């Protein structure tokens, strides 16, 4: 049975997460096809990486839509914003797990089509983080774009931790969300409400 373009892309993604600098020859071997067959589907490594970038950004956009951040942007209800933010972080974790190799690929990010798509997706999240600041869920003294960059940095930490086996995959959503909310300081304890003293 002939290997489909979709099967090639899935296998390439898996191998690139292990070796982001893999050549077309190495990718063909990882997929289990000849280099000539790989070139029939993708004329060059750049062509393959562009296709994978579009695939990753399609998934990133699906996470934004399914998490509810578009509807929550501009909301004044903290619970609505919090729910969307938790869903966004969980979804981004899944995308990073699958497409982590592309997070620091400068050549891919420099491509005009990819750059435009990244900017569009980032702007959507920056607007949402600004809403979360106004809702009192994030530090209002920080630029919203800085918060977006912090999330990006945490996603790189997710990628590296999974590649190196530093954390269990099932622990990643909790670690990402907890670090995003509290940094590396101890999480604030829930103090009991003190009763008013009689007298």
Q: What is the pLDDT of residue 190?
A: 54
**Each residue of 67-77: pLDDT tens digit?**
999 999 999 99
Domain CATH code at residue 7? 1.10.10
Check whether 33 has a pLDDT greater than 60.
yes
Per the domain annotation, does 18 fall within a domain?
yes
**Each residue of 153-180: pLDDT tens digit?**
999 999 899 888 999 999 999 999 999 9
**C-beta of residue 169 within 8 angstroms of C-beta of residue 97:** yes
Residues 24, 91 within the same domain: no
pTM for this prediction: 0.85
Nearest to 87 by CA among 70, 112, 105, 111: 70
Q: What is the pLDDT of residue 48?
A: 94
Q: Which two tokens stand for residue 169?
A: 């995959």
Q: What is the pLDDT of residue 32?
A: 92
How far is it, in rounded angstroms, from Cα 83 to Cα 190?
20
Q: What is the pLDDT of residue 1?
A: 60
Residues 61, 152 within the same domain: yes
Domain count, the chain: 2
**50-56 mean pLDDT:** 91
**Each residue of 83-135: pLDDT tens digit?**
999 999 999 999 998 888 888 787 777 889 889 999 999 999 999 999 999 99
Q: Which two tokens stand for residue 157?
A: 């930490």
Per the domain annotation, does 199 fall within a domain?
no
Residues 103, 127 within the same domain: yes
Helix pair 45-67, 24-31: axis angle to 10 deg: 60
Domain CATH code at residue 148? 1.10.357
Residues 1, 90 within the same domain: no
**50-61 mean pLDDT:** 92
Q: What is the pLDDT of residue 194?
A: 46
Residues 29, 63 within the same domain: no
**Each residue of 101-113: pLDDT tens digit?**
888 787 777 889 8
84-109 CB burial, b ≥16 within 10 A, e <16: bbebbbbbbbebbeebbbbbebeebe
Per the domain annotation, does 152 fall within a domain?
yes
Per the domain annotation, does 191 fall within a domain?
no
Structural domain boundaries, residue 28:
1-43
**49-60 mean pLDDT:** 92
């Amino acid at each position: 049975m002939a290997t489909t373009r979709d099967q090639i892309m899935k296998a390439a993604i898996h191998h690139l997460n292990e070796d982001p600098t893999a050549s077309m020859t190495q990718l063909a071997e990882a997929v289990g096809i000849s280099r000539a067959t790989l070139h029939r589907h993708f004329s060059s490594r750049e062509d393959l990486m562009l296709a994978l970038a579009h695939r990753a950004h399609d998934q990133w956009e699906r996470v934004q839509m399914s998490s509810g951040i578009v509807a929550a942007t501009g909301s004044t209800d903290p619970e609505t914003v919090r729910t969307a933010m938790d869903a966004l972080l969980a979804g981004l974790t899944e995308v990073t797990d699958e497409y982590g190799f592309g997070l620091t690929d400068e050549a891919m990010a420099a491509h005009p089509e990819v750059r435009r798509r990244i900017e569009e997706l980032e702007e959507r999240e920056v607007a949402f983080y600004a809403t979360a600041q106004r809702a009192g869920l994030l530090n209002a003294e920080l630029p919203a774009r800085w918060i977006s960059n912090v999330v990006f940095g945490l996603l790189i930490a997710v990628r590296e931790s999974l590649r190196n086996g530093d954390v269990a995959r099932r622990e990643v959503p909790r670690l990402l969300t907890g670090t995003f909310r509290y940094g590396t300081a101890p999480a604030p304890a829930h103090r009991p409400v003190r009763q008013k003293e009689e007298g």
